[in-house]
A = this chain, B = another copy of it.
Amino acid sequence: MVNTLPKIGFCGLGAMGGGMARNLAKVGFPVAGYDLYTPLVDKLVAVGGTAAASPAAAAANCDFMILMVVNDVQADSVLFTPETGAIAAMPKGSTVILCSTTPPSYLKKLRAHIDETRPDLKLLDCPVSGGSIRAAAGTLSIFSSGPEEDLDNAKVVLEAMAEPLYRIPGGISMGSVAKMLHQHQAATNIIMASEAMGLAAVAGLNTKDAYDAICKSIGRSWMFENRGPHMLANDYLTVHSAVSIILKDNTIVTTHAKSIGFPLVLENTAEQLYITGTHNGLTKEDDAGLVRLYMPTSSPDLVGNLTTSSVKEGKAGITIDTVIDLMAGVHLASTRECMAFAKFVDVDLSLLFDIVTKGAGASNMFDIAAPQIIKAGSFSLKTVKETPEVLANLKVAVQKATEIGQSVPMAAAALQQIYFDLRE
């Protein structure tokens, strides 16, 4: 039987790209894979792919050239290096699908760069979210953008990798903009998970109980649910997602916002904490390990060690509810910031709502507040019914943390930002 599926070239076979490429091979696509590290290529060959000795070789007969490299610098290298680069080798009219997370501004530069020599080639902007397990299962969130006709053309390939597959209106770069907005929630929620568990631990609470209760509360986030178990296990060398990755993606958000003059107080506060983590030598460890920034340096494993504590009310009257209040307050301020940013960069708010709530940036507070913001068409928290109560609780939670000298920078920044937002 003749294989009628389009032919795929694939560059970048790491934790994400390797799973994506193997999934495509397993479901029947002819996949020619390239990676600098050849054992990764062997893993693709083991499930039916073929080995390519260079990006040019991977590209030579492809209909779609998929890139899942680390960043824009690697993408340029894979595409444009003389002799070995993919672009010069690609068949007439074939398509580059960039799945790497890159700055939105890069996409337009890339289109222009390709146009210099190969205006016949198509380019799609298709960053992803979801982690290595969903990559291997073909169920990534993919934020696709580009000319409608070219997206239609690539549908069979994108659908084989994605669930859900989003189509972001506005042409090339808007997929990257949508990914950036989702990243805003992911980035603020990741560090907030550490700030919350850090407060619970330093107050002396049973951290396992706190984890369980928070997961069922208004303070819950997808990231907290996901990172919490690593913290309880003091398990930071098993790396699901390194500090370097969230810092890299976060920098794309803050850099883009600065370039268009938009303030992102919470996102920048988060970024300083990621940089503090790298400055303290945690770059290559799992980002759940950032909880150690919130621990006494003398007992970095405190979160995991307190799972048997019987304390129900910790220092300064801090309870699990205090921790929940801290999280709900930060997530509320962060939701507002994300929605206002989305409006500023022209992404449809209802589409963004769908992306975040189904993605790793989800939080219960986002579920509650975002629809009210969308409905009101205003980015003041005055429009969110729960604001007065969440604010009052956040204020008390920050004061209790302050009483015990526990640093809660995200919560403090959120409190200030809410006051700024609500001033008459």
Contacts and interface: CB of A to CB of B under 8 A. Distances in A.
A271 interface: yes
A415 B416 contact: no
A229 interface: no
Contacts of A278: 261
Contacts of A398: 402
**How many copies of this chain does the complex contain?**
2
A423 B407 contact: yes
Interface in A103-123: none
A363 to B, nearest CB: 22
A419 B405 CA distance: 6
Interface of A is mostly: helix
A378 to B, nearest CB: 14
Given A251-B258, A262-B275, A262-B279, A416 B422 contact: no
A258 B251 CA distance: 9
Contact of A424 (B251, B297, B420): B297
Which has the most chain B C-beta neighbours within 10 Å: A405, A417, A424? A405
Interface string A377-420: 00000000000000000010011001001111100110111011
A268 interface: yes
Which has the most chain B C-beta neighbours within 10 Å: A278, A398, A402, A416? A416
A272 interface: yes
Given A251-B258, A264-B272, 5 more contacts: A263-B272, A268-B269, A268-B271, A405-B422, A406-B419
Interface of A: 251, 257-258, 261-265, 268-269, 271-273, 275-276, 278-279, 293, 295-298, 395, 398-399, 402, 405-409, 412-413, 415-417, 419-420, 422-424
26 contacts: A258-B275, A261-B279, A262-B279, A263-B273, A263-B276, A263-B279, A264-B272, A268-B269, A269-B269, A276-B420, A293-B420, A296-B423, A296-B424, A398-B402, A399-B402, A402-B415, A405-B419, A405-B422, A407-B416, A407-B417, A409-B413, A409-B417, A412-B413, A412-B415, A412-B416, A413-B413
